[in-house]
Homo-oligomer: A and B are copies of this chain.
Amino acid sequence: MPKDTFYNLKPEKKKAIEAAFLEEFSQKTFEDASISQVVKSLGIAKGSIYQYFENKLDLYLHLKSECEKTKLAYIMGLNRKDFPDFWKYFRKMYEVGVLFYLENPQASKFLTAIGKNTHSPTIKSYIHDWRNQAHQMFEEMIRGEVKAGNFRKDVAIKTMSFFLVSASTSIGEYMEVIYDMDFNKELEKGQKDFAKQKKILLQSVDDYILLLQKAFEK
């Protein structure tokens, strides 16, 4: 847990520090991310960081939980029961996910980057836990749909869950590719249309759903 000193910081400075480290941890492994370099770019002393946090991991986990909290606020309130079928629900998840991405690109990229620490001795256990949770969640969802007669039942639920988790991850990567392509295109034209971006990103999701739906239906 961060120390009181950190929470006593002026909001702008707190934000600046968080932003700088989000950036660093989005682009490097936990081990390769360098506190020394970030404080240099921030123009503060390295010692200060250790007035705010216990150590590097404490800092990392603080960012992680902050970003997760932010994202959760977007996801919260979504309930399978409120949708006529699983894919409408699935799509809505991505709709709020895209909103989160467009409104908090740094946080979103950081959360994605966490998953790239598969080999980090410090971080891998957190990833492992997260993956297990995701698989369990998806398994339960799929089991529900199978029981309700909405999904095929000739393929093991574990397999379908693995398939769906990977497809979900892939959607995220695909969206980033599409976003970069389109972002550069818009840059040339010297504009940046938020609503249009959202539409383009969600088109990727819709296309993926077209494929997934067929794969999972009876």
Contact = CB atoms under 8 A, between A and B. Distances in A.
Interface in A19-66: 27-29, 31-32
Interface in A154-199: 154-156, 159-160, 162-163, 165-167, 169-170, 173-174, 177
Nearest to A156: B207
Contact of A208 (B32, B116, B159, B174): B159
A214 B213 CA distance: 9
A173 B163 contact: no
A209 to B, nearest CB: 10
A211 B216 contact: yes
A207 B159 contact: yes
A212 B118 CA distance: 27
B210 A212 contact: no
A116 B113 contact: no
A88 B195 CA distance: 43
Most buried by B among A31, A119, A154, A173: A119
A125 to B, nearest CB: 15
A99 to B, nearest CB: 22
A204 interface: yes
Contacts of A29: 29, 31-32, 119-120
A16 interface: no
Contacts of A154: 210
A137 interface: no
Given A32-B31, A118-B116, A215-B211, A167 B163 contact: yes
A160 B211 contact: yes
Contact of A155 (B159, B211, B215): B211
Contact of A207 (B31, B155, B207, B211): B155
Most buried by B among A27, A156, A163, A169: A163
